[in-house]
């Protein structure tokens, strides 16, 4: 009986928690949406193929105007090009002025801008230490290089297979769940 009660309480907490997340992303988020919805059923997901970081502020304002900007905002952008520290600070400062927790997912993309994007995220972390950065590049490199893990990436080196989508979604869930309080 106690086990059943604990399970029900955890399920309710998970559902309540799930309603508090907005995710803004690009094609990786589009591909992973079914897994994200499995872990975070009521998350607001705003993702588009080809989206660049420069579109983040417009998406934030639009979502806010519709009442869809939740307590935790995950930005999973960088696959499609660089952005500046100034652009990142504008997003962070706006969200934090509205008491939102800010989570970024860095990038793994075999393009010249990968290190620029990830270095910009690290600079933002130094300037705003209370943001969270999910180190997708390192975690995916470590986990997906294991022999006992099925291939995570498609031939292009950054779009995800089913296993990659699962891992990407699980990391977003784990990091946001861990830092929800």
* Domains of the chain, first to last: 23-178 (3.40.50.1110)
Return the sign of the alpha-carbon dihedral for residues 150, 153, 154, 159: positive
The Cα 82–Cα 98 span in angstroms is 26
Average pLDDT value for the chain: 88
CB of 36 within 8 A of CB of 29? yes
Is the model's pLDDT at 1 over the cut of 70?
no
The total number of residues shown for the chain amounts to: 181
Q: Quick one: pLDDT at residue 181?
A: 56
Residue located via tokens 């579109």: 55
Is the model's pLDDT at 9 over the cut of 70?
no
Q: Quick one: pLDDT at residue 13?
A: 45
Mean pLDDT of 133-154: 87
pTM for the whole structure = 0.86
**Residue 180: pLDDT band by 50, 70, 90 thresholds?**
low
Q: How many helices (H) and strands (E) does the chain have?
A: 7, 5
Q: How far is CA 44 from CA 39, 69, 71, 94, 110, in A?
A: 13, 8, 11, 18, 29
Residue 86: exposure state from Cβ atoms within 10 A (0-12, 13-18, ≥19): exposed
Percentage of residues of the chain with pLDDT beyond 70? 88
Q: Measured between alpha carbons, how far apart are the two ends of the chain, in Å?
A: 28
Residue 9: exposure state from Cβ atoms within 10 A (0-12, 13-18, ≥19): exposed
Q: Is 145 left (phi over 0), alpha (psi -120 to 50) or beta?
A: alpha
Coil/strand/helix, residue 133: strand
* pLDDT, greater one: 98 or 156: 98
Is the model's pLDDT at 113 over the cut of 80?
yes
DSSP 8-state assignment for residue 160: B
pLDDT in tens, 43-92: 999 999 999 999 999 999 999 999 999 999 999 999 999 999 999 999 99
Residue located via tokens 């995800």: 160
């Amino acid at each position: 009986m106690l086990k059943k009660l604990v399970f029900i309480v955890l399920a309710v907490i998970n559902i309540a928690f799930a309603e508090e997340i907005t995710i803004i992303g690009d094609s990786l988020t589009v591909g992973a949406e079914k897994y994200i919805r499995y872990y975070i059923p009521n998350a607001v997901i705003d993702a588009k193929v080809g989206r660049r970081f420069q579109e983040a502020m417009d998406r934030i304002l639009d979502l806010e105007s519709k009442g869809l900007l939740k307590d935790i905002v995950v930005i999973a952008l960088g696959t499609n090009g660089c952005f500046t520290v100034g652009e990142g600070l504008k997003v962070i400062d706006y969200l934090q002025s509205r008491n939102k927790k800010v989570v970024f997912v860095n990038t793994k993309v075999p393009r010249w801008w990968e290190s620029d994007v990830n270095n910009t995220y690290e600079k933002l972390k130094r300037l705003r230490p209370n943001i969270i950065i999910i180190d997708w590049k390192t975690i995916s490199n470590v986990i997906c290089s294991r022999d006992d893990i099925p291939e995570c990436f498609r031939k292009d080196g950054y779009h995800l297979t089913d296993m990659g989508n699962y891992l990407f979604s699980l990391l977003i869930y784990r990091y946001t769940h861990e830092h929800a309080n």
